[in-house]
Amino acid sequence: MPETPFETARGLVAAYRAQRTRPSEAVEAALAQVERHEPRVRAFLHLDAERARTEAAAWDRRYAAGEDTPPLAGVPVALKDNLCTRGAPTTCGSRILEGWRPPYDATVVARLRTAGAILLGKTNLDEFAMGSSTENSAFGPTRNPWDLSRVPGGSSGGSAAAVAAGFVPLALGSDTGGSIRLPAGFCGVVGLKPTYGRVSRYGLVAFASSLDQIGPLARDVEDCALLLDAIAGPDPLDTTSARVPPPQARAALGAAPRGLRVGVVTDAFGAGVAPGVAAAIREALRTLEGLGLAIEEVALPTLEAALPAYYLLAPAEASANLARYDGMRYGLRAAGADLVDTYRQTRRRGFGPEVKRRIMLGTYALSAGYYDAYYLRAQKVRTLVARDFERAFARADVVVMPVAPTPAFAIGERAADPLQMYLADVFTIPVNLAGLPGLALPCGFDGGLPVGLQLIGRPFDEATLLRVGHAYQQATDWHRRRPPVA
Amino acid sequence: MATPAGAPRTVVGLEIHVQLLTASKMFCGCAVSFGAPPNTLVCPVCLGLPGALPVLNRRAVDLGLRTALALGCRIHPRSQFHRKNYFYPDLPKNYQISQYEYAGHPPLATGGALEIVTEGARRLVRIRRVHLEEDTGRLVHAEGASGSLVDFNRSGVPLMEIVTEPDLRSPAEAREFLTALRRLLQFAEVSSGRMEEGTLRCDANVSLVGDDGVPGIRTEVKNMNSIRAVERALAYEVARQAEARRRGEAVVQETRHWDERRGVTFGSRSKEEAQDYRYFPEPDLVPLEVDEAWLERVRASLPELPAARRDRLMAAFGLGGADADRLTASPAMARFFEETVAAFPDARVVANWLVGEVAAYLNEHGTEIDAITLTPRRLADLLRLIEDGTLSGRLAKEILVAMIKDDLDAVAVVEARGLRQISDEAALGRIVEEVLAAHPGPVADVRAGKDRALGFLVGQVMKATGGRANPEAVNRLLRERVGS
Amino acid sequence: MIDRDTVEHVARLARLALTEEERERFAEQLGRILEYADRLSALPLDDVPPTSHALPMTNVLRDDAVAPSLPRDEVLAQAPARRDGFFVVPRVFDEG
Ligand SMILES: [Mg+2]
Ligand SMILES: [Zn+2]
């Protein structure tokens, strides 16, 4: 019997193949874990236990018959609720999409089905992925399994918490400004934001299209690589998905990273970074050095400008992406005196305050007379951020920063002050602006809360990030720690 | 157009939306089809469902490039789609994917010109830009209903927008321009170009410039569903603006709708909100780069354009300019001509019939050569029956109409109606004798040298034979018998 | 700080109805965020080209091939109002 519910995905598959356990047992273990802890964690918005059991039973038979099975056959996986699932609720954490059931599957969802995954349910998120704490969900916040008074990070907080709490070994999130890496860091799990274009966005409900990217969350780097391999690769339905060969990330993990150069972003250790976070990162760097990697210093002079640029660009794109929620074709429709009033009342009732704030901000940044001062200027900063990274990658193979300046903050602590909240993403946002891959993995604790290490790579070089991360996890056991709630 | 001294000068610019001849929509695989039941040609992409993404149709770009080449435009090596943001229930994403023009972001093509002929003079009308965009859905205003109905079948259908400089100087020039543009689009096989079906749509900007050179306020006229309607609407609008100017009243900058039935334009009653489309680059579509090799492929695929076709018809078949013009009024007509000539090589006879009898029929019935049952082979057969003396020209004209109406070959009509020409002299001789016996007066007149009386007698023979008599034979027989 | 008229203008463009309280709060919050964004004006950006896409890709096109559309029942099942195969929306101002 494997140590469910904290078995890895690859451990489960190996156990199924060796007939040491069955998918049905794993699913029951997962559901039991959910039943025990979900009332306090609140990671899920929808669970489909019945379907999971049916699918598990089908995989049971195929494993029992010794059939060839796809790589994730019978593995429970959770999906952030901004990924379209045919015929199943997809709310984006918003009242405006309550009850909506897409008539199609997102490409990643279709790929997971093909890979044999059992889609256990949809996880909570900040409404339309706008937030850093999962407090902006219209259906209530998710809590951090390490400390229920704290946020799990966001916006993929439900997915990170579900993995941390032992509900599922794998989950998908989406990352526009740090929404996979921040919750991974806060919840002590592994999260990868792939290179922009690595994973198809088809069926990911858009927040900011030029920044959004779907990625895996897992308990360790190897499982993370396994899930990436299942979802990555070009998709004719997404013209921004890159025509590059799939990463074969898991196969790349074997090669020792000895001799690679690690660039430490010196600007990322200034004011605002909690001493405990800085200490954990420095310790991680010593570990990497001990593994034979060379530590260099690199500079990202535009780091500080990235945050304000992001908070113009992402809302601008969002203001257009969210225009379609108007009560005409699907979702909520509020009564109004006439057409325009129906639009305005529907959107007033359907959207929460953070979504409205960003729609307002983005509309303003694009409106006549302000485009050049805000939107265009922010696009230029985006160019500078990308150039910064290019220079850094001339000196280093991997760039290192903390995931966030602090560990998980308390629920409600930053809710009243949007700017304070936005600062949580200061180290993750530049990576989205430059379209690069970023890996978050646990590297220690500060006051009993996980600290996340962020490794950033060259475009489409997820393999190097995962290699370094895997070697680090061979040498450390932060990823094996369990939250007290579980 | 000659402008009387002191009269304001008319300035017209056109904005034309052209539906491209593709099988599928601009950004998804839904079929482009006219008249399907509502909301049956829709998918997540063209319904703007959450998470759906657009994928650009290569053929739509090719057709845009064809047009740009045909208009002599400058094709930009790099262009980009944009989002044009506005809320309207026929626009499922509440933004239209279009191409906008601003610093560093050119549309597909700019510049270019199209030649028109007005009052015998050739003139170039400048094209400002050619860009690609998606169509909206269709709103239906059901009578008495509390709501409006929306059909998204048309949503995402590929459109090309062509914008002219304000170079047109009269409603007639606008008509000429649209006629020439439609012809070009049809020859280039870019669009069916039918305003009545909405595959060609035209909005017009109209203003008057006083003799002091001060430009007046411009209005935008919409809702014109034929080239003729454009001309009428512009004439009305020009007169309306001139009248306002004469009275010293202000023309309001507004959108005005053409009411075909009443023959007037009227301003929208709704208060117009100042438009702020908040264009920005469409992040879901990567930029378009058109290199020389791509252009070369498009150039090679470009069908023969009207001017070249006209010149070739004149050179190859010895046609006059007027006939060649009319035979190249549409590609269907040009193709019909050439295919008929292939089967009946007397090009002049074919041309005469096409620009004469056939054109008259089309005109009278308001139809097109490719919409009737006549085929080049059927026309050639008919002409051959005239040539070999089986039919008189007059009979052939009647038969032509019957062929078209009943979807028949010439021979079938001839047999069915017993219309074969009577050239048999014995049979004709008997009829001639009867006519002479019945009309002694005219016979005497003919003998007295009055030729008009001979015409009367010929007519009587024709009448007696139901028009089937060979006119030459009748003339000869009459003269012989009367002895004139 | 941006003024409340500007907030209302933007809310109209975005088709959002705001309460008086929201207008006030957004005026304050948007003002602070934009003030923060004004830091960007200190950067030398004149000769920097803008970036609208993360990666330098071009020319991704599809062939002009027809693919199946969705079943109409499935499309309309999600609509707040429908009739005779159409979506029903609040009456659009009749231009005629
Ligand atoms: Mg247009
Ligand atoms: Zn479609």
Q: Is residue C11 one of the residues assigned to a domain? A: yes
List, for residues A323-365, the tens digit of each pLDDT value.
Answer: 999 999 999 999 999 999 999 999 999 999 999 999 999 999 9
pLDDT at residue B212 tops 70: yes
CATH number of the domain encompassing residue A198: 3.90.1300.10
> Which ligand is closest to the CA of B160, given by its number?
1
CATH number of the domain encompassing residue C17: 1.10.20.60
Q: Which residues of C27-55 are buried (b: 16+ CB within 10 A; e: fewer)?
A: bebbeebbeebeebeebebeebebbbbbb
Q: Kindly compute the dihedral angle of the four CA atoms of residues C81, C84, C87, C90, in this order, to the nearest 10 degrees.
A: -70
**Rounded Cα gap, residues B87 and C86, in angstroms:** 19
> Which ligand is closest to the CA of B27, given by its number?
2
Taking an 8 Å cut-off on Cβ atoms, the answer to whether B51 and A102 are in contact is yes
**Rounded Cα gap, residues A352 and A415, in angstroms:** 13
Tell which wins on pLDDT, B65 or A484.
Answer: B65
**Rounded Cα gap, residues A44 and A124, in angstroms:** 5
pLDDT at residue B3 tops 70: no
Residues 25-64 of chain C with CB under 8 A from chain A are 26, 29-30, 32-34, 36-37, 39-41, 43, 45, 48-55, 57, 60-62
Domain total for chain B?
3
The reply to whether C17 touches chain B by the CB within 8 Å rule is: no
> Which burial class, exposed, middle or buried, applies to A258 when counting CB atoms under 10 A from its CB (0-12, 13-18, 19+)?
exposed
Q: Binning pLDDT at 50, 70 and 90, where does residue B13 land? A: very high
pLDDT at residue A320 tops 60: yes
Taking an 8 Å cut-off on Cβ atoms, the answer to whether C43 and A384 are in contact is yes
Give, as one character, the DSSP assignment of residue A168: -
Q: Shortest CA distance to B160 belongs to which of B51, B87, B62, B247?
A: B62
**Rounded Cα gap, residues B71 and B74, in angstroms:** 9
| Domain shared by B148 and B289, yes or no | yes
Instruction: Look up residue A33 and give its amino acid.
Output: Q
Instruction: Look up residue A73 and give its amino acid.
Output: A
**Rounded Cα gap, residues A427 and A430, in angstroms:** 7
pLDDT at residue B460 tops 90: no
**Rounded Cα gap, residues A362 and A319, in angstroms:** 5
Q: Is residue C27 one of the residues assigned to a domain? A: yes
Q: In this predicted structure, what is the pLDDT of residue B272? A: 55
Q: Is residue C40 one of the residues assigned to a domain? A: yes
Give, as one character, the DSSP assignment of residue B355: I
Q: Extract the tokens encoding A331.
A: 């979702």
Q: In the listed set B372, B390, B417, which residue is the last one of a domain according to the structure?
A: B417
Secondary structure string (H, E, C) spanning A135-166:
CCCCCCCCCECCECCECCCCCCHHHHHHHHCC
Q: Binning pLDDT at 50, 70 and 90, where does residue A446 land? A: very high
Q: Extract the tokens encoding B385.
A: 């029956």
| Domain shared by B222 and B359, yes or no | no
**Rounded Cα gap, residues A443 and B58, in angstroms:** 49
Q: In this predicted structure, what is the pLDDT of residue A145? A: 98
> Which ligand is closest to the CA of B129, given by its number?
1
Q: Is residue A475 one of the residues assigned to a domain? A: yes
| Domain shared by B318 and B290, yes or no | no
Q: In this predicted structure, what is the pLDDT of residue B86? A: 96
C18: containing domain: 1-44
**Nearest neighbour of B148 by CB, restricted to C12, C69, C89:** C89
Q: In the listed set B297, B325, B355, which residue is the last one of a domain according to the structure?
A: B297
Q: Extract the tokens encoding A466.
A: 């995962």
Domain total for chain C?
1
Q: 3-class DSSP state for residue B168?
A: strand
Report H helices in chain C: 4-13, 20-37, 72-77
Mean pLDDT of chain A: 96
* Cβ neighbours of C91 in A, within 8 Å: 338-339
Q: In this predicted structure, what is the pLDDT of residue A2? A: 47
CB-based contact A132:A155 (threshold 8 Å): yes
Residues 16-75 of chain A with CB under 8 A from chain C are none
Instruction: Look up residue A320 and give its amino acid.
Output: A
Among A123-127, A184-188, A423-427, B145-149, the minimum mean pLDDT is found in B145-149
Q: 């995905």: which residue's tokens?
A: A9
Q: Is residue B256 one of the residues assigned to a domain? A: yes
Query: Which residues are bridge partners to C90 per DSSP?
Result: B147
Q: Shortest CA distance to A333 belongs to which of A319, A323, A321, A348?
A: A348
Say how many Å lie between the CA of residue B161 and the centre of ligand 1.
Answer: 6
**Rounded Cα gap, residues A486 and B2, in angstroms:** 90
Q: Is residue A345 one of the residues assigned to a domain? A: no
Q: In this predicted structure, what is the pLDDT of residue C1? A: 65
Tell which wins on pLDDT, B101 or A193.
Answer: A193
Say how many Å lie between the CA of residue B93 and the centre of ligand 2.
Answer: 13
Average confidence (pLDDT) over A186-206: 98
CB-based contact B383:B400 (threshold 8 Å): no
**Rounded Cα gap, residues B308 and B290, in angstroms:** 26
Q: Binning pLDDT at 50, 70 and 90, where does residue B395 land? A: confident
| Domain shared by B403 and B431, yes or no | no
Query: Strands A76-80 and A170-175: what pairing?
Result: parallel
pTM of the model: 0.91
ipTM for the predicted complex: 0.96
Backbone angles phi, psi at C8, to 5 degrees: -65, -40
List, for residues B427-452, the tens digit of each pLDDT value.
Answer: 888 888 888 889 988 888 888 888 78
The reply to whether A382 touches chain C by the CB within 8 Å rule is: yes
**Nearest neighbour of A239 by CB, restricted to B51, B278, B285:** B285
Assess whether A179 carries a catalytic annotation: yes
A420: containing domain: 9-300+388-480
**Nearest neighbour of C90 by CB, restricted to A100, A308, A342:** A342
**Nearest neighbour of A383 by CB, restricted to C49, C62, C87:** C49
List, for residues B400-415, the tens digit of each pLDDT value.
Answer: 999 999 999 988 888 7
pLDDT at residue A3 tops 70: no
Q: Is residue B25 one of the residues assigned to a domain? A: yes
Q: Shortest CA distance to B372 belongs to which of B429, B315, B333?
A: B333
Q: Is residue C29 one of the residues assigned to a domain? A: yes
Establish how many alpha carbons lie within 13 A of residue B282's alpha carbon, considering only the half-sphere containing its beta carbon. Answer: 30
Catalytic residue (one of A94, A133, A155, A241): A155
Average confidence (pLDDT) over A433-445: 98
Q: Is residue B323 one of the residues assigned to a domain? A: yes
Q: 């954990």: which residue's tokens?
A: A280
> Which burial class, exposed, middle or buried, applies to B371 when counting CB atoms under 10 A from its CB (0-12, 13-18, 19+)?
exposed
Backbone angles phi, psi at A192, to 5 degrees: -120, 125
Q: Is residue B2 one of the residues assigned to a domain? A: no
Q: In this predicted structure, what is the pLDDT of residue B4? A: 53
Q: How far is CA A482 from the centre of its chain?
A: 20
Average confidence (pLDDT) over A297-317: 95
pLDDT at residue A1 tops 50: no
Cβ neighbours of residue B64 under 8 Å, at least 6 residues apart? B20, B108, B109, B130, B131, B132, B160
**Rounded Cα gap, residues C55 and C77, in angstroms:** 38
pLDDT of chain C, 96 residues: tens digit per residue: 689 999 999 999 999 999 999 999 999 999 999 998 888 988 999 999 999 998 889 999 999 999 999 999 999 999 999 999 999 999 986 543
> Which burial class, exposed, middle or buried, applies to B63 when counting CB atoms under 10 A from its CB (0-12, 13-18, 19+)?
buried
Q: 3-class DSSP state for residue B334?
A: helix
| Domain shared by B413 and B440, yes or no | no
Backbone angles phi, psi at A430, to 5 degrees: -60, -30
pLDDT at residue B474 tops 90: no
In A124-260, at which residue ranges do the beta strands (DSSP E only) sit? 170-175, 190-193, 213-218
Domain total for chain A?
1
Shortest CA gap A466–chain C (Å): 21
> Which burial class, exposed, middle or buried, applies to A130 when counting CB atoms under 10 A from its CB (0-12, 13-18, 19+)?
buried
Shortest CA gap C36–chain B (Å): 22
Among A135-149, B290-304, C13-27, C32-46, the minimum mean pLDDT is found in C32-46
Shortest CA gap B124–chain C (Å): 33
Q: How far is CA B136 from the centre of its chain?
A: 24
| Domain shared by B99 and B56, yes or no | yes
List, for residues A369-405, the tens digit of each pLDDT value.
Answer: 888 889 999 999 999 999 999 999 999 999 999 999 9
**Rounded Cα gap, residues C57 and C35, in angstroms:** 34
Assess whether A193 carries a catalytic annotation: no
CATH number of the domain encompassing residue B456: 1.10.10.410
| Domain shared by B218 and B95, yes or no | yes
> Which burial class, exposed, middle or buried, applies to C3 when counting CB atoms under 10 A from its CB (0-12, 13-18, 19+)?
exposed
CB-based contact A383:C48 (threshold 8 Å): yes
CB-based contact A211:C54 (threshold 8 Å): yes
Which residues are near ligand 1, the ion (C-beta closer than 5 Å)?
A: B 161
Q: 């839904």: which residue's tokens?
A: B30
Q: Helix and strand tally (H, E) in chain B? A: 16, 18
| Domain shared by B328 and B456, yes or no | no
Q: 3-class DSSP state for residue C64?
A: coil
Taking an 8 Å cut-off on Cβ atoms, the answer to whether A237 and B47 are in contact is no
* Cβ neighbours of A432 in C, within 8 Å: 54
Q: Is residue A68 one of the residues assigned to a domain? A: yes
